Amino acid sequence: MSLSVPFFRPSIGEPEIREVVDVLQSGWLTTGPRVAAFETAFAAAVGAPYAVALNSATAALHLAVEALGLARGQGVLVPTMTFAATAEVVRYMDAVPILVDCDPMTLNIDYDDAERKLAAAQAGRLSGIPGLKVVGVIPVHVGGVMVDLAATRAFAERHGLWVVDDAAHAFPAAWRSNEKGAWVNCGADTARVSCFSFYANKTITTGEGGMAVTHDRVVADRMRVMSLHGLSHDAWGRYQSGGSWDYRIVAPGFKYNLTDIAAAVGIHQLARAEEMRASRESLALEYLYRLSEVDGIELPSVVDHRIHAWHLFPIRLRLDQLTTDRATFIQELAVRGIGSSVHWRPLHLHPYYQEQFKWRAEDCPVASREWERLVSLPLYPAMSNDEQRAVIDAVRDIGSARRW
């Protein structure tokens, strides 16, 4: 019987399990001391003074743009090569996501195209809105490889924009400008707010969860208040010894707080973050070596001056060399028991953005072309040698059988 390999398997150890049991036995399950401890440890890990734990990275992104004052009708530059959340939080504020094409190598945001889209938006040539005021940009670190921070900063400063990192894939990841430069962790003042994900298949997990980090205390305070109904004090603060039962509603907030149950998992995942990243990197390097001679695929680039989080291992099919399409390739992997995924259908190719804002495939040609070739292979810290060998053999076999 052939070995079945899932696309992802979370790495949960006995310390996480024991911590969850301790929380369940403590009598305090919602936001409390474990969340506070997780926030403190995560802020220290990335090098930021303030961290706000939330129930998803989507919540973090939403609270970030709200705290920065994103207003109705304003524009925000968003890479088209991303998950739904990056742009939908802009729509939550009744603002306009301006979709930007991707760099063909990294799939991260292309700032040359961002310049073109910004000029078009300001001239009223996008979305039928005259003189759209663009106020921010939300770069995404696709797959765990950070965007060029120097380019991001230069672009934002040139146009007077705030930056919110969608860092859902990028912990722990880092960037530096050259061989002699200092490493900058994702989240260490790389944006006004950096937003991380702890979803089940992310580099560290709390099951569901997210974290926002910032160097701006005012922004952090606003996000914390808005994360729990706009209340002046959370429940843990009210019910601690010496706390006050009373509270005030200072704004119409949301219900985005993380629980102590989730934070109990996160505390121990965080302690193992670099160990798990190193395991993913080792697996990625093995893929790069063992699949380098498969003519029908392109492998992800290892970008200079980056510490790659290796959340994903995306290959690209050379469809001109294969007698198959992506859907059939994925189906043949599945027949061999190999899980896979696609990251992602670009936003400008989804019905909502085509119907609401009239985006077309030719508006972001690189993303339109590249997404049709993308397949993400299994990659997780506890992946065994036998599991990886099964994936490699399957890719090689399909590639050989389906060549012209």
Instruction: Give the three-state DSSP class for 363.
Output: helix
Instruction: Give the C-alpha separation, 278 to 381, whole Å.
Output: 8
End-to-end CA distance of the chain: 30
Structure-token pair, residue 388:
């990886």
The C-alpha angle with vertex 82 and arms to 77 and 83, in degrees rounded to 5, equals 115
Contact 140, 82 (CB under 8 A): yes
With tokens 């798990």, the residue in question is 276
Q: Are 377 and 313 in contact (CB under 8 A)?
A: yes
Distance CA 129, CA 120 (A): 10
Cβ distance 268 to 243 under 8 Å? no
What is the distance between the alpha carbons of residues 212 and 228, in angstroms, rounded to a whole number?
Answer: 15
Alpha helices in 249-362 (DSSP H): 260-271, 273-290, 326-335, 351-357
Structure tokens at 345: 């259908």
275 burial via Cβ count (<10 Å: 0-12, 13-18, 19+): exposed
Separation between Cα atoms, residue 135 and residue 161, nearest integer Å: 5
**Cis amide prior to 344 (ω within 30 degrees):** yes
- The closest of 367, 372, 357, 360 to 326, measured between CA atoms, is 372
Q: Pick the catalytic residue: 117, 133, 180, 202?
A: 202
Q: Is 117 an active-site residue?
A: no
- Rounded Cα distance between 284 and 310, Å, is 7
Distance CA 155, CA 118 (A): 11
Put the strands of the sheet holding 162-166 in their side by side order. 50-54, 210-214, 193-197, 162-166, 134-137, 75-79, 96-100
Catalytic residue ranges: 202
